[in-house]
Every structure is written in C-alpha cells, then in structure tokens.
Amino acid sequence: MTDALIVIDVQESFRQRPSWAQVSNPDIVEDVNLLVAQAREREALVVWVLHSEPGSGGVFDPDSGFVALAAELRPVAGEPVLVKTTRNAFTTTELARILQRHGVGRVIVSGIQTEQCCETTARVAADLGFDVVFVTEATATFPITRPDTGAALAAEAVIERTEFALAGRFARIATLTDAFSDPLTGSAVAS
C-alpha cells in the first residue's frame, strides 16, 4: 500500500495570531518534520496544504504574505503544495486526484487545527475509501469558545474529543513513532 503524508496548514498565518500563545503543541513544526523525514525515508508521497481566505484582509488572506509554510518546513521537488479555501483539504484542491495518480491507499494526517482542518480532512479521506492514520502528536489546536453560549473547551479537551470521534470510525490514532507501522503487526510498512 502506498502512503501519503498530508501536512495541513502548518503555516505562518497561525503564528501571526495572538492565539498562537495558547497553541497546544508549540513544537508542531519539529513534529511534522519528524513525520516528513519518515515519509521520505519510506518514499511515501508528502503533500503540503495551505489555507487561504482571499479578500478577507486577515492573516489567511494571500495579500498578507503569511499564507506560506512555516519557515522551517521545506518541500522538495515532486511534493505537491496545494492551497485550499475550505476546511478539508479535498473539496477545493486536486488532492484526491493526486493521491489516486500516485496509487495512495493510506493517508497520514498532521497539521493545524486538530479538530478543524485535520479532522475534517481525515473524515473526507475515510469517506473516499482511504485508510486514515491520524497523528495527534503532529497536530495542534487552541482553546475553543462557543459563540452562542460562551462556554469554553480547553485545547486538551478538544484533542480528546477529536480522538474519540475519529478512532475506529474514520481513522487509526497513531503516535509519531508508529504512524507508518502496520496496526496489526506493529512493524514498519514499506510504502
């Protein structure tokens, strides 16, 4: 089975927001780089995804100059860099076609935000028939406040809810060290 690592929205836009001080995983870039190294070692496809909100005037507006991968992330030749305008990485990009063209059967999901773009991408990928591995350690999120009630959830609660919603339904929850392993044997799977 061919694997693809999908790196979602690990971009400068988030670092420009005041909420970055509350990020659940300040080491997200280092964690993603560990997964990228594993993917490249296994000759898995690495797909980079950026979120864009054209005309918004905010940090996700391409005119802001912040719709760019975090400076420490470096795609290499042949690794697609896609720009999306929806929460999931499929609807407004060529991601599904790229994965099909490369014969991908399993996707490994990482990025920002755990419960938004990462979870939504994982759910759509599962609906499209891909095996999905969700590497929570290589995701990041923030506390959430409900706009209608003002109730708040800590980032840890958001992460726990996301894992509960995905596990066994849409994805296998994995760690940085077992993201590319066979869930039955625990051994590394050749891509």
CA gap 108, 4 in Å, rounded = 6
- Among 109-113, 160-164, 181-185, the least confident range: 181-185
Considering Cα of 114, then 118, then 123, then 126, what sign does the dihedral take? negative
Confidence of residue 186 (pLDDT cuts 50, 70, 90): low
Q: What is the pTM of this model?
A: 0.94
Q: In whole angstroms, what separates CA 171 from the centre of its chain? A: 13
- Please report which confidence band the pLDDT of residue 182 belongs to, taking 50, 70 and 90 as the band edges: confident
Picking from 67, 178, 49, 183, the residue whose alpha carbon sits closest to that of residue 110 is 49
pLDDT band at residue 187 using 50, 70 and 90 as cut-offs: low
Q: How buried is residue 170: exposed, middle or buried, by Cβ count under 10 Å (0-12/13-18/19+)?
A: middle
Distance, in Å, from the CA atom of 50 to the CA atom of 89, rounded to the nearest integer, reads 9
N-terminal to C-terminal alpha carbon distance within the chain = 6
What DSSP element (H or E) covers 139? Answer: strand 131-140
Phi then psi for residue 88, to 5 deg, are -85, 160
Q: Which pLDDT score, from 0 to 100, does residue 189 have? A: 53
* pLDDT score, position 99: 98
**Residues found in the chain:** 191
Q: What is the pLDDT of residues 97-132, one digit of tens each?
A: 999 999 999 999 999 999 999 999 999 999 999 999
**Is residue 1 over pLDDT 80?**
no
What is the third-level CATH fold of 2-174?
Rossmann fold (3.40.50)
Stretch 132-149: mean pLDDT: 97
Here the tokens at position 79 are: 């690794």
Q: Which of 46, 33, 37, 42 is nearest to 80 (CA)?
A: 46
Domain boundaries, the chain: 2-174
CA torsion angle for 153, 157, 162, 168 (degrees, to 10)? -150
